[in-house]
Structure 1
Amino acid sequence: MNTDHLTQTTQTTQTFQASQTLQATQVVLPGVVAPEGLQVMRTAVPEPGPGQLVIAMEATGVSFAEQQMRRGRYYDQPPFPFVPGYDLVGRVVSTGPGVAPDLAGRRVAALVKVGGWASHVLVDAKDAVEVPEGLSAAQAETVVVNGITAWQMLHRTARVRAGQTVLVHGASGGVGSVLVQLARAAGVKVIGTASARHHEALRELGVTPIDYRVGNVAARTRELAPGGVDAVFDHVGGRSVIDSWHLLAPGGTLVSYGSASTRDDSGSKQLPVLKILARTWLWNALPNGRRAHFYNIWAGRALNQDRFRARLRSDLTEVFAALQRGEITARIAAQLPLAKAAEALALAESGTVTGKVVLTP
């Protein structure tokens, strides 16, 4: 008798039977509610289909997107109820047909837009990016959506070069803090807006800070860069986008990537974005050599999924490498268990912490 085969078969059967008794935990956003309105629910662990895998979540984050979603203000969020969670990092626990079985056990990251706030997440295998050795799950989590966004805006959209000067709104925020570090690593001079309590930390990164709460940001920027800046990264939206456009030097680039100023507004959630798009189209029609873009991390996916995935994999790999080299740091504001997602969301929205609020199983 082949005892090795029998042992392997027995272990496989036991693992399968154990998986049937496991339950997954997920956090559900039932509608427009306060953070304490989030619901923690139990459900069956998903089974992977062809081309899919199941990730046992080790870390997921609270980003600005979830803050907008709970208000019903995110541009293309799904209908309620749904499980929020823009990205996650975890171990592959099962693979479906057509997926290399040796992926099981590996730590991967995935950008999912929704669904990340769960103990077990079903994803397409092609959307999983392996996390390099030496990075913890929480460290990697801090730079998935924030890192991809920052890298692509800086290097693909604005195409900054060493010696140039850029203005980063929200320089101490999730995306902004990664962006300023990547810019400095590329030899770019950075002016960053933030509240006064973040200024010393920004100076330590080589950033010239401006307090957006007092004074005139546009006037102060012109003092620091009389000829204009080569790029502005604006997540604020509204009037800020117009001011940002006028701060550009000849040949400069405006990258708008949000409408944070309208987070608490009522009415259409699409209108603020449509206004920005209309302005970028108008400005790009002007013969002045400056360019305006509205950055969307999902742009191009519907047209060419393979190209989208290849670009995302390449860019996240670059971000992970920068993290390993120490060019960017993993700023973790707090780590809370998934069951305390309401507390984590309230903390992230408070504006009192620096870095990413991370949820763990």
Structure 2
Amino acid sequence: MKARVIRYYRFGEPGEVLCMEEKDVIPPGPGELAVRMYARPINPSDIIPVRGAYPHRTQLPAVPGFEGVGIVEAVGPGVSNQMLGRRVLPLKGENTWQDVVKTMERHTIIVPNDIDDQSASQLYINPITAWLICTEVLKLTYGDTLIVNAGGSAIGRIFAQISKIYGFKLIALTRDDRHTAELYRLGAVSVINTTRELLQERIAELTEGCSAEAAVDCIGGTDGEQLVSCLKPNGTVISVGLLSGITPLWHEVTRGTQVHVKLFWLKHWVERCSQQRWEQVFHEVMELVRAGRLVMANIGATYELTNVQQAIAAAESGIEGKVLLLQ
């Protein structure tokens, strides 16, 4: 049997380097299962590696896509036939911009029936990253202040909702006012439009001169670097993304500040954590989604896998909501 797969053999603009091919579907081996993908969101973290921002992390040729939801259509030896037809998130295996993804049964997360496909497809990258940063890395508690840039992004909105759940203060940084009202509704205590306000002065005002305990940088470049001046001594910046494509000069901007910088890469956490912890975190996040306390991004547009170029263009055009690649 043949299946479609999106690949790239060199780094560059997605429109130039991504190509659709066919591959032979090899039956799952011991402990493995094969998942027929239904829906995959397009995240910045899917596109940034294509452009070559992380060449040391990406082995070519590569398949984009880190998350999505699908149906188990085949199981290997040692996997119960009861898994057939189950809706799952196939993690820690092959990437998702293809028809069929193989992974180990222990690396799949079964999706409850009351979580729809659109939400399920987004349950991994942004929610788990934000959840772990707040609860495990920073251990934020009531009264702490967290600054997040790219506040209007999908992960920025997740941080806002988690702040309401845990009671810490979330200051969201944006470059326009499109998402201000929604960010307040989701849980942010303040929203700063950095094109109109001086960041350091505004943070000092909002924290009564005390500065913030921590910040999350999704952008990189000077946007990330300026977060350092907004933190207390021994404060922490968590670097999670490079929307700008520019790596901040952390060693220079933190010199003499006592501010710490930590890089958070979800793949590293997944590789290190125990099976018990893995399942516990997903259970906690999915229970919040089921209860309506954590809401994924609305869907702005959907495209077939064959129209991946148009889908990426839409995702990067500023369209409201997530763009999904279907079937």
- TM-score, normalised relative to structure 2: 0.89
Indicate how the Cα distance of structure 1 residues 70 and 181 shifts in structure 2: closer, same or farther if over 3 A, else same.
same
Give 2:117's match in structure 1, choosing from 124, 137, 161. 137
* Alpha-carbon separation, structure 1, partners of 2:86 and 2:252: 45
**Letter aligned with residue 338 of structure 1:** L
- For residue 48 of structure 2, give the secondary structure of its aligned residue in structure 1: helix
Which of 1 and 2 has greater Rg?
1
Q: Displacement of 1:249 after TM fit? A: 3.0
Query: What residue identity is the alignment partner of 1:26?
Result: V
Distance 1:111 1:119 in 2: 15
The equivalent residue for 2:63 is 83
* 238 and 35 in structure 1: CA distance in 2 versus 1, 3 angstrom threshold: closer
The 5 A counterparts of 1:278-317 are: 278=251, 291-299=260-268, 304=272, 307-317=273-283
Q: Secondary structure of the residue that 1:299 maps to in structure 2?
A: helix
3-state SS in 2 of match to 1:184: helix
Please, which of 213, 236, 242 is the counterpart of residue 253 of structure 1? 236
User: Does the CA contact (< 8 Å) of 2:68 and 2:122 recur in 1?
Assistant: no
Query: CA 1:152 to 1:354, structure 2 compared with 1: closer, same or farther past 3 Å?
Result: farther
- Tell me which residue corresponds to 1:13: none
Distance 1:254 1:133, change over 3 A: same
Q: Return 5+ residue gaps in structure 1 as ranges.
A: 1-21, 266-271
What is the deviation of 1:232?
0.9
CA–CA distance in structure 2, aligned partners of residues 312 and 246 of structure 1: 35
Deviation, structure 1 residue 210: 1.1
RMSD across aligned positions (CA): 2.5
1:279 deviates by 6.7
State how far apart, in whole Å, the 1-side matches of 2:319 and 2:257 are. Answer: 43
2:43 maps to: 63
> Aligned partners of 1:318, 1:75: CA distance in 2, in Å?
33
Of structures 1 and 2, the one with the larger relative CO (CA 8 A, separation 6+) is 1
Give the secondary-structure state (helix, strand or coil) at the position aligned to 1:87.
coil
Structure 1: distance between partners of 2:215 and 2:177: 20
Which amino acid is the alignment partner of residue 280 of structure 2? S
Tell me the residue number matched to 1:232. Answer: 215
Provide the TM-score with structure 1 as the length reference.
Answer: 0.81
Higher mean Cα deviation, 336-345 or 308-317? Answer: 308-317
User: Distance in 2 between the 1:116 and 1:327 partners?
Assistant: 27
Residues 90 and 216 (structure 1 numbering): CA distance in 2 closer, same or farther, change over 3 Å?
same
Q: Is the 8 A contact 1:85 1:113 kept in 2?
A: no
- Give the total of aligned pairs: 322
Q: 1:328 aligns with which of 282, 294, 306?
A: 294
Question: Could you tell me whether the CA contact under 8 Å between 2:93 and 2:102 is conserved in 1?
Answer: no
Indicate the SS of the match to 2:266.
coil
The aligned amino acid for 2:179 is H
Q: Where does residue 4 of structure 2 map in the other structure?
A: 25
Q: Residue 300 and residue 197 in structure 1: after superposition, are their counterparts in 2 closer, same or farther (change >3 A)? A: closer
Gaps of 5+ in 2: none
Match of 2:312 in 1: 345
1:163 aligned residue = 143
Structure 1 Cα separation of the partners of residues 64 and 186 of structure 2: 32
Are 1:67 and 1:349, in contact at CA under 8 Å, matched by a contact in 2?
no
2:325 counterpart residue number: 359
